[in-house]
Structure 1
C-alpha cells in the first residue's frame, strides 16, 4: 500500500445492520410466511398494471428478475389475471418456450401482491431500534434509513464477549450474530450485517459487497482488508459514493478501478473534483474519519419533493396545478428551516406511452421563501420547456440557501405589500401547523387533478416513491 499509515487512523468497532427486504419481510411475517422463500411484493395499487412496486422479497427478485422499484407492467405476468405477459419477454429478448411460460405462471399464482402499510413498518422499526439499545446506548446508534442503522459497539464488545483470548474482530462477529438472532426471534425479520474494526465506510462496503452473499449474512472489512477487498471491487460504481456520472469523469482521467483511484495523484483529483476528489482518494484507501456520534451535515443542501402521478396528466392546467402544490409544500418546509432559496429546479418525466426526453430545468433568483414567487417560478420553468405530452413524474427542488433574514430589495418593490404578504404567509403556516396542511387550502384542491388531499393521507418512507417528501403536508 504505502500511502496510508493505518496505525495513525482512528478505529471503531462498527456494525452496519440492514433488514433484508424489510417491507416485504414484515408482510411475510404477518402472514406466517418465510421472508426468504416466499414470493411477495408490496405494490401501491394491487388491482391494475399501473401499480408501483415498492418492495419485494428475495425470492420474488430472483424469480422475476426485478428490483424493488418498478412498475407492475414491467413484470412478465399480468397482476390481475396472473397470466403470462409475452410482450415483456419479447422486449427483453427472452425465448418464449412452453417451459418458460409455465414457470412464470406457476410462480405468478403463488406470489403475494399486497398494499403498503407504512404505519406497520414504522412500528416494526421502533421494535428493532429497542433491540439495538440492548447492545449499545442510544448515542452509539445512528439510524441510516427505516431499515438500516450503524451501531458503534466499541464500548460494548468486552461486556458481551469478555473472553480475553478472542480478538476484537472475533468479538464483533459474535455480537453481530447475537443482534441478528434477537431481531429474528422478536420480529421474524432477517438482518444482514456489514462489520468493520475500523470505520463506518468499510462497514457499509462490507454490507453492500459481501455480507449479502454469505451464508451468515455477515462480513468484516477492516484496514487489513483494503488491498484484498476494497481494491478488488470490479466496478467503480460498486464503491459507496460513486455514481455513473462520477465514474465517467474518473474514466476520463484514466481511472477505471478502485485500485487505480487509490493509487492516483490526489492533487490531480482535487483539480478535477475539488475537495470531493481528495475525499474519494482517502475513501478508496479505506480511510473515513466520520463516526456514528457526529452526524455528517453537508455544507450545501437542498429541499425537494418528487411524486409519481396516479395517472397520465395531459392537461397542462392540471400539471401546473400539481407543480404549484409541490412548490408550496416545499416552501413550507423551507420556512420551517428559517431559510430562503436562490435556486429553483424542476423535473418532469413523461409517461411510457409518450417517448419524450424528460424535462430538467433550473434558474437562479433573489433569495426568497415566498410561496407566490416560488410557485410562479416553477410554472415559468415548466412553460419554457413543455411542448405537450403525457406527464407521469414531477419533482421540485430548492437549493442555494441563505438565512431568512437576508432580503434583496429594489427601488420598485412595494415594502408594505411585501410585509403584508409575509404576515399572511406566517399566519397561514401557523394555522396549518396547528390544524394540518389541508385545513386551509384553495378551492382547486377539490378538482380531479389536485394531489394535496390524496397525498396528505400517505405515510412517508424511503421506498415510497409515490409519496415523496411529505413534511409540508403533515
Structure 2
C-alpha cells in the first residue's frame, strides 16, 4: 500500500445480521417482525437481535421473549443458527476481499477496509454503492457503510444511516456532526465510562474534545487521552488484515433457560462450555495459561474470576477442573442466569516451548521413535498417514465477539 496521508477507510456494518440471514434463508419472513432468541420456546428466553420491523414495535436486544411478544404479538421468534451466520460472514468478507486485500474483520458482522489504492477518490462513493449492491444481490443481506479518513470516523459514520446507508464523515464535519452528540453515543465510550465522564461535567463529544487531558488520564488512564484524540477526529490505527490472528482469548458463554442453583445443571453447563473452548483451541492449534469464569446472577450482577497456571492447557478436562475450582471458591449459592468459560494468555502451539519434566520425560522419550517413523512416512507419502481426515469441525461460535474464526474467508 502506498504511503499517503489521505486515507480512505470503509467501515462495513451488516444490518440486524442474524435476523437478515434468517430472512435470506426463509423469504416468508420478509416484511414481518422477526427476532432471534436464545431459547425461543421459553417465555424467559432472551432476544439476541431483531429486524427493523420488530424494532419499530419496541422489541430490543436482551429483552425477554414474553415482554417482546407483549409489545408485538405477531412477532416471529426463531432460534440462532451460528453455523449459518458464520458461513454468511465468510462470504461477506470474501466479497470485501475482492475489492482490496486490506480487510480487517472485527466481528462476525462488521469490518474495516482501506480502499485508498482501490479506487480514485472521485469514485469512492460509487465503490461503496457497488459493494453494498453486490452483497445485497449475491447474499440478499443489507449493510451500511461509513466512509472516512480513519477507522474511528468510519465506524461512527456507518452507524448514522441504517439500513442500507452510505455516510461520509470528513474531519471538517466533526464539529457540526459529532460534537453535538451525547458522549455516550461515541464509539468506545460504554455506559460506565459515560457515567464517569458525566461526573466531571463532560456530557457531549465536544466537551470530551475540549477536556483537560491530564484530568481525563487521572479518570480513565491512557484511554482518557485516546478518547480525547478520537473526539477530535485523530485515529492513526492502520487497517490491519492480520489483527484477527492476534487473538489472546477464546471463550464460550451461555444463558440458562431459567435461573438455577442446581449443581448438577451447573456442572453440566460448565462441561459443555469447556468442550466448546477445547474444540475452538484445536481449530487454532493453540493452548492457554489462564482460565477465567464469568458468572451472572439472577439480579444481573456479573463477576469474573481467573487463575493463571504454570503450564499451558488445551484439554476439556483441564479447563473444566480449573473452572469448577474457581466456581466453587466464589459461588455464594445465589441463583445463576449465565455462565462463561474463557482461556486467556493464548499461544499457538508452534510458539510454545515444550518443557520436559520428570513426569513427561519418559513418555516423550518413548514417543521419539514413533515421531521418527512418522516423519519418514510423511516424506514418502506426502502427508501424515496416522492423521485421520475429518469433516470440518462444526463448532458454533456463541456470540459475535468470538473472533477466532474470522480469518476463515481467506482459506
Whether TM-score is above 0.5 comes out as: yes
How many Å separate the matches in 2 of 1:144 and 1:363?
27
Shift in CA distance, 394/39, structure 1 to aligned 2, threshold 3 Å = same
1:13, 1:153 within 8 Å by CA — same for their partners in 2? yes
Q: Judging changes above 3 Å, is the alpha-carbon distance between structure 1 residues 132 and 261 closer, same or farther for their aligned structure 2 residues?
A: same
Stretches of structure 1 that go unaligned for 5 or more consecutive residues are 1-7, 78-103, 159-167, 410-414, 425-429, 438-455
Q: Which residue of 2 aligns with 1:217?
A: 165
What's the secondary structure of 2:211's corresponding residue? coil
Could you tell me how far 1:395 is from its partner in structure 2?
1.2
Q: Secondary structure at the match of 2:27?
A: coil
Aligned length in residues = 379
Higher relative contact order (CA 8 A, sep 6+): 2
Residues 314 and 263 of structure 1: CA distance in aligned 2, closer, same or farther (over 3 Å): same
Alpha-carbon deviation of 1:112? 3.0
RMSD between aligned residues: 4.0
Cα distance in 2, alignment partners of residues 46 and 297 from structure 1: 32
Distance 1:337 1:119 in 2: 20
> Aligned pair 1:396/2:341, yes or no?
yes
Map 1:370-385 onto structure 2 (within 5 A). 374-385=319-330
Give unpaired runs (5+ residues) of structure 2: 367-383, 406-411
Q: Please, which of 135, 139, 147 is the counterpart of residue 109 of structure 2?
A: 147
Distance of 2:254 and 2:365 partners within structure 1: 30
Hey, what's the Cα distance between the residues in 1 that align with 2:365 and 2:222?
42
Runs of 4+ in 1 over 6 A off after TM superposition: 297-300, 420-424, 468-471
1: CA distance between counterparts of 2:81 and 2:4?
Answer: 44
Check conservation: 1:308, 1:394, Cα contact below 8 A: yes
Does the C-alpha gap of structure 1 residues 206 and 470 become closer, same or farther in structure 2, counting only changes over 3 Å? closer
Q: What is aligned with 1:308?
A: 255
- The 1-side partners of 2:214 and 2:389 are apart by 55
The match for 1:84 is none
| Residues 1:287 and 1:347: Cα distance change in structure 2 (over 3 Å) | same
1:228 aligns with 2:176: yes
Among 358, 363, 366, the alignment partner of 1:416 is 358
Partners of 2:107 and 2:154 lie apart in 1 by: 16
Q: 1:97-116 counterparts in 2 under 5 A?
A: 108-109=73-74, 111-116=75-80
User: What residue is the counterpart of 2:369 in the other structure?
Assistant: none
**2:230 & 2:181 partners in 1: Cα distance?**
13
The one of 189, 193, 201 aligned to 2:141: 189
Asked whether the 8 Å contact 2:252–2:398 carries over to 1, the reply is no
